[in-house]
Structure 1
Amino acid sequence: MGVVSPLGNNVQTFWNNLINGKSGISSIDTFDVTDHKAKIAGIIRDFDAEKILGKSEARRLDRFSQFALAAAEEAWEDAKLDLNNIDAERLGVYVGSGIGGIETLIENIDTLRQKGPRRVSPTLVPAMISNAAAAQISIKWNAMGPSMSPVSACAIGNTAIGEAFRLIRSGEADVVFAGGTEAAITDLSMASFGNATALSQRNNDPEKASRPFDQARDGFVMSEGAGILILESLTHALRRKAKIYSEVIGYGASSDAHHIVATHPEGKGAFNAMRSAIRNANISPDEVNVISAHATSTKVGDISETKAMKQLFGEKAYQIPVTANKSMLGHMLGAAGGVEAIALAMSLKEGIIPPTINLENPDPSCDLDYVPTVARQMNMKTGLSNSFGFGGHNAAVILKKYEDETICSNKVKL
């Protein structure tokens, strides 16, 4: 697994900060925010693209592709895979981005207006297209198997993991890079989201701004980064005695079919995605021990997700711990699902549930166990992770703690 995040640019640092309830949100200092409504974000710090990728490669890549390659590199080293012992035609890449290379696009629009068309970069298009990250990973690791860049807005990470899971289970691949990446903290993006009143304006207290399920929440906090996992068939993993974090055992997807930006108020699509994932995993709702909520800290979204969990789990919903990583990370958009799946895999492995920080006065409509303020130790076997996106896209994945047992053909490890 590999991470680039506001809480650290490797899995261990990220995980340590997450379980210690540290916020990665800070004031924006990368451009002038004087006239912006929202002036805070989850910015990646201490990321030296040239040191990681080399000067020439870093310069021709947009920031979102830089993040993806860095996270993929960590995942590859963590997996201890050897290209000499892999069938390149069965090595796939399912990595997406919600917005793609918007920073590169904006820079070249400015160049066009100020200096004319002859000064626009010839590498603009290959740098900005949203499949660039997946393509760059494929090229670097000679991954000649299926490659896809899903665009399901903020559900991308889970969509990528779920579709990669299906690909491996169908027998069409042995190993797949899966996840999402995003680098959209720009003047333009912040202005648009801010004018849509979607962002928190708690500018004087950045670390307290993202507060899922809290009565005083006032919108999400934009963030950036990447979360890449390497999925592998269980037989392939066991054959090479790989380290296994957990198993992907279920995936469900749905559409709200309701509104381009607003979630279904009753959580209909979220319910359908979670139910499909549970059915796909061939388990009962009672077997789910922990839920990683999408929980962006918006008024309607947090309530609708809570309603969906209550509808699916009934009275058991009050007994299942629910964690909201975005309280610390902010909303990483297309990268969120991949990063949160990594957090869930670590939770199952280590027996620790990260806290939902800033939950000081719960919204009366949000009355489940959201693991407020402090991490919780708990022996868990099965976890569910939710990701929802603009356009009504919903994706849920189910991970199971790995236990050495008889090989089953429908299992996929990460």
Structure 2
Amino acid sequence: MDHCKIQGFSPIHLIRPNDQNIEYKERGGGISIFVRNDIKFKHRYDLDIVLPYMECCFIETMFNNKKYIIAGMYRIPNTNINFFIEKFNEIIEPLKSSFEVIILGDFNINLFNDDINKNLFEICLQSNYLIPTILGATRIATKTLNNGQIVSSKTLIDNAIIKFNMKHSSGLIDSFISDHFPIYISLPEIIIDKMNTEKVIQYRQVTDITKGNFQLAIKRTQFNLSQNEAADRVFSGFHNTFNELYSTHFPIKEKTLNHKDEIKPWIDDTLKNRMKIRDNLYKLAFKKKISHKIFKDFKNLLTDQTRKAKAKYFENEFNKNSHNIKKTWSIINDVIRPKKSKQDISLLDDNGSDVQDSKVSVQFVDYFTSIADNLTAQLPNSPIHASDYLRNRNPNTFVFLQANSKDVETVINDLKDNGIGINKISNSVL
């Protein structure tokens, strides 16, 4: 299989083992899946199967906050249909509620026939909310009779099977690359987005320790608060010193996230390493280098640890937000409701260039504050001044009162600590 490669794609191969203890009906077999290099996926070794009557290979991926299971499947011809149906149900039934299921393969069940094999297969698909999408003949065979007459037969044995509610476009490719016509399926809902690429985030680490060190540095700093200096100069000096100390004690850090980090934050590095061990144990068990029980026991232990980590994560989240009902419901909705995909909206300036995220708010302010001036410029000139329309004016209706430190402290304490971004001062620090 080293020579079976496609440039720009990652290959996944399931090779039929050369096992003298297992009786296979025919030579050949095996399944290959090729995944484009910019698509993140996981080979689901735990679902792969090689049996005398069927072979299947699975990968898992994610698009637009939906999890997909994609399988290549082959049913060995002239084998017991009941064995195949039973194993098919055993694999797919646990997946149908959590994944969008896509199965492509050669099932060697002719859907043109009205027989027991077709009926059992259709009932099996319907019970798992699946439908076949290929409706034309996928194999055309010809043979010559004893009288010299050439007859042809058409069968529909290859298919692309999906959930019944998935929008799709599918069909046959008119090519004689093999004795089966190639089939294809296109799903418009699968669009590669930022969820499938690594994302770098920037943040400042604000903890009790870093806040304590910052407050200590502020107390040790001598600010020029002379009343003889101009107010703007005094504030500018204070502001610059404050920002320098803030950047020193709360430096901007970067972290690379993938979609799993965002969706399953309870899976830490320890669990990730154990998952790698699990996958390696599966490979060893598959090659019969270790007992299958060793792999199964470790997998069950890891599953239990992952569930406990998930429960502990949500317990901590609920305790942390016990006094914030809005955040509590947000956590609940994230668990029980699938997230809807968000479209990226770009903002353009007057020159047609994209506005950077950090300058979006400035762009909005400039736009809305200029509305009055733009409308005023469109008004016709009038000999009457705007103030002439005002009657009985009182010039002393608005008074500025001197603010004291208590007023400033009250305002700061009422500020909400959200939406400030990394380029602003955290309200919790103030």
TM-score by length of 1: 0.24
TM-score by length of 2: 0.24
Structure with more helix by fraction? 1
Asked which structure has the greater CA Rg, the reply is 2
| More relative contact order, 1 or 2 (CA 8 Å, 6+ apart) | 1
